């Protein structure tokens, strides 16, 4: 081992020691965390503003209203179950890309291209619930922390969180990638399997608490699993579907059905989209 590598590893371990540990709700997993909630949420807002400056909102009033209503039910469920105290925002962006994201701090962006894949309100609730779960579980922060630790070990610390000009430079691309908008900036960065299983478990609970039948979550993934022909939707390319994922969702179904029983109003599958 070279002395430079030893030095870099020492810095990495020191950073890991100094970093606080956060705990993921519903799974209890401890996660590596180098970014404070305030910094993470501010990065989320910057990323949101930078995307919204470049994109156009959908002009379809009825669809925008539906996306807002479904998303609001999900965010209310997230607040009821996990109290993230986010400053929520929902935008429907007119772009033929099958994607959706919830940035840290609660900024949700749904692209019109994902609506046909959602199929009905419950499918949309499943997609938004899954993305909100990634944000509440701080998965973006965890990915960013890993990248920061690596950059620090390479002597590049400070370059990532510095600069707030909102331009789509290298730093912004890296942050957007870590926060789940990678496909929008030309980097397809799938979440790890651990993050995916957690977002499924938590997202399915949110959907059920929001009053949508959690069995529809499974149906969404089963529909997704059948899409084999290109062009593969972006959301599917960053969320690979497999038998293990569907098996885990089935295991989680009884807990989600209990949440569904707690829902104040039940919407079933909701309206077709
Ligand atoms: Zn995901």
The tens-digit pLDDT sequence of the chain (273 residues) is 556 656 565 555 555 555 567 788 888 888 877 788 888 898 889 889 988 998 999 999 999 999 999 999 999 999 999 999 899 999 999 998 888 999 999 999 999 999 999 999 999 999 999 999 999 999 988 888 877 776 665 554 444 444 444 445 666 667 777 777 766 656 556 678 889 999 999 999 999 999 999 999 999 988 888 877 777 777 776 777 778 888 899 999 999 999 999 898 999 999 999
Q: How many whole angstroms from 134 Cα to the centroid of ligand 1?
A: 7
Q: What's the gap in Å between 7 CA and the centre of ligand 1?
A: 35
How far does the centroid of ligand 1 lie from the alpha carbon of residue 6, in Å? 35
Distance 194 CA to ligand 1 centre (A): 10
Centroid of ligand 1 to alpha carbon of 2 (angstroms): 38
Q: Tell how far the Cα of 189 is from the centroid of ligand 1, in angstroms.
A: 11
Taking the centre of ligand 1 as the mean of its atom positions, its distance from the CA of residue 196, in whole angstroms, is 5
**Gap from CA of 195 to ligand 1 centroid (Å):** 7
Instruction: For residue 108, report the distance from its CA to the centre of ligand 1, in Å.
Output: 14
Q: Percent helix, strand, coil in the chain (nearest 5)?
A: 60, 10, 30
CA of 190 to the centre of ligand 1 (A): 8
Å from CA of 272 to ligand 1 middle: 23
CA 14 / ligand 1 centre spacing (Å): 30
- The H-or-E segment that residue 31 falls in is strand 30-33
pLDDT of residue 167: 47
Q: Ligand 1 centre and the CA of 135: distance in Å?
A: 10
Sign for the pseudo-dihedral over CA of 197, 203, 209, 211: negative
**What pLDDT sits at residue 159?**
47
Exposed/middle/buried for residue 231 (C-beta within 10 Å: 0-12, 13-18, 19+): exposed
Give, as one character, the DSSP assignment of residue 102: E
Measure 177 CA to ligand 1 centroid, in angstroms.
Answer: 13
Ligand 1 center–CA 226 separation, angstroms: 18
**Distance from the alpha carbon of residue 262 to the mean position of ligand 1, in angstroms:** 25
| For the chain, domain boundaries | 3-262
Helical residues (DSSP H) of the chain, grouped into ranges:
3-18, 37-54, 61-82, 115-118, 121-136, 139-153, 170-176, 193-209, 215-225, 234-237, 243-262
DSSP state of 161: T
């Amino acid at each position: 081992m070279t002395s430079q590598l030893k030095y870099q590893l020492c810095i990495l371990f020191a950073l890991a020691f100094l970093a606080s540990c956060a705990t993921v709700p519903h799974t209890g997993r401890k996660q590596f965390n180098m970014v404070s909630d305030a910094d993470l949420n501010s990065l989320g807002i910057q990323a949101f503003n930078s995307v919204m400056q470049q994109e156009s909102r959908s002009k379809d009033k009825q669809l925008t209203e539906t996306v807002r209503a479904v998303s609001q039910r999900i965010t209310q469920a997230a607040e009821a179950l996990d109290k993230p105290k986010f400053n929520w925002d929902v935008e429907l962006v007119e772009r033929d890309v099958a994607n959706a994201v919830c940035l840290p701090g609660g900024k949700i962006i749904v692209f019109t291209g994902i609506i046909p894949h959602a199929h009905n309100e419950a499918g949309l609730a499943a997609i938004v619930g899954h993305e909100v779960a990634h944000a509440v579980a701080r998965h973006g922060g965890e990915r960013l922390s890993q990248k920061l630790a690596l950059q620090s070990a390479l002597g590049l610390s400070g370059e990532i969180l510095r600069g707030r000009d909102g331009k789509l430079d290298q730093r912004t691309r890296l942050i957007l990638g870590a926060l789940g908008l990678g496909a929008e900036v030309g980097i397809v960065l799938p979440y790890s399997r651990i993050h995916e299983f957690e977002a499924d478990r938590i997202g399915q609970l949110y959907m059920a608490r929001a009053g949508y039948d959690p069995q529809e979550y499974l149906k969404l993934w089963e529909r997704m699993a059948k899409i084999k022909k290109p062009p593969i939707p972006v959301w599917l390319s960053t969320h690979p579907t497999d038998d293990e994922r569907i098996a885990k969702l089935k295991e989680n179904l009884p807990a989600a059905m209990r949440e569904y029983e707690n829902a104040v109003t039940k919407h079933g599958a909701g309206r077709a989209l």
